[in-house]
Structures are given as structure tokens and as C-alpha cells.
Amino acid sequence: MRGRRAVVVAGLVGVLGLAGCSPGDEEGSAKQTDAVTASSSAPSPGSPTPEPSSSPSPSPSVSASPSARPSPVPVTGPEQKLVTMTISGGYAGVSKKVVLRGDGTVRATDEGRTVVRRTGAAQFTKLRTLLGDPALDEVPEFTIDMGAADMFQYTLQFDGRTVMTDRSAGQPALDRLIGALEAWLPKG
């Protein structure tokens, strides 16, 4: 039993090391530990502990392996909503929305002003590839800092999921998707 605990502790130290945590990095350590805790679970006392492999496996919070490259999400029809993003909050109480459809159109609304534009083939593939990033599967459904005031809140609906964030939890795949969608909002 003692040997199994040592393997689990050694495994956790290895995962934290892969995630970029170090004993002297208090701020990064807390953030990385939270990410690992939120996306993995410890074995129950009665369950067998997996044997260590000869090569370290990446933690769930680390980007997917090179073999799991993002590929564009499939399109089933022109009316399909691939992603809907709503932005609300802030000091001024903003209300913005971006919808990407299967026909390559983007409908963007900012404070009542709506613009509908068509993506180019490369832009459409890029947006679909961002949606197909396997790292999005690891993004929690709710990452909002309840202690922060007046931050924008982003609600994204895609692939049968709803994800809410204020972007305080550093999720690179989600941040890339949000940035690409925000670019379609009307200017001025």
C-alpha cells in the first residue's frame, strides 16, 4: 500500500512539473494546481492504482499531443449554428453576440446594431478548426471569478455544450476561439 502511495505522489509531482509548477512559483503553482484538480480525479481508496509508464503522460491541462491536431468541425447544413457567443457585463453593461452558421455566414450584433458577413474559405476553415481543437474538450463549463466585479462574461454554445467564462482562467484554446469570433463584431 505504501508503494502505491509513493507512485501516486511521484505521478502528481511529475504532472505538476509538466504543468510548469515549481515550489518557488506561488501564483503559477496555485493556478496550475487548480487546473489539474479541476480536470482530473484521484483514484478511490479501493481502486487499483495504474502502474507508471516508461514515458510521462501529459497532464489534462497541457495541450493535446501533436498527433491530436485540431481538424475542422464538420458542417451538416447551411442553417447549422456551429457556434454562438454572447458577451455581456462590464461597467457599461454591454450586450454582444456572434453566430457562425454552416453556410459560412457570421451574424454579429453589438448594442442592437447587426451585421451579417460571409467568411472566405480560409477564414471559415480557420474558425471550424478552432472549434475542432481537442483542448476545448478539457475546458470546464463554468470558469468565472465570482470575486471579480464588472468583467465581461462570455457564453459560448458549440458541439452541444455551453461554456461560460470571464477569461480569468487562462484557457488558450478557448481564448483563441473567443478572439477569432470577437474580430467579427461591428466596429465603432
Average pLDDT over residues 87-105: 92
Q: How many residues does the chain have?
A: 188
Pairing state between β 142-143 and 161-165: parallel
What element of type H or E holds 161?
A: strand 161-165
User: Each residue of 41-75: pLDDT tens digit?
Assistant: 333 333 333 333 333 333 333 444 445 788 999 99
Q: Which of 142, 154, 147 lies closest to 94 in space, CA to CA?
A: 154
What is the distance between the alpha carbons of residues 93 and 110, in angstroms, rounded to a whole number?
Answer: 12
Tell me the pTM. 0.64
What is the distance between the alpha carbons of residues 167 and 170, in angstroms, rounded to a whole number?
Answer: 6
What residue spans define the domains of the chain?
Answer: 1-61, 81-182
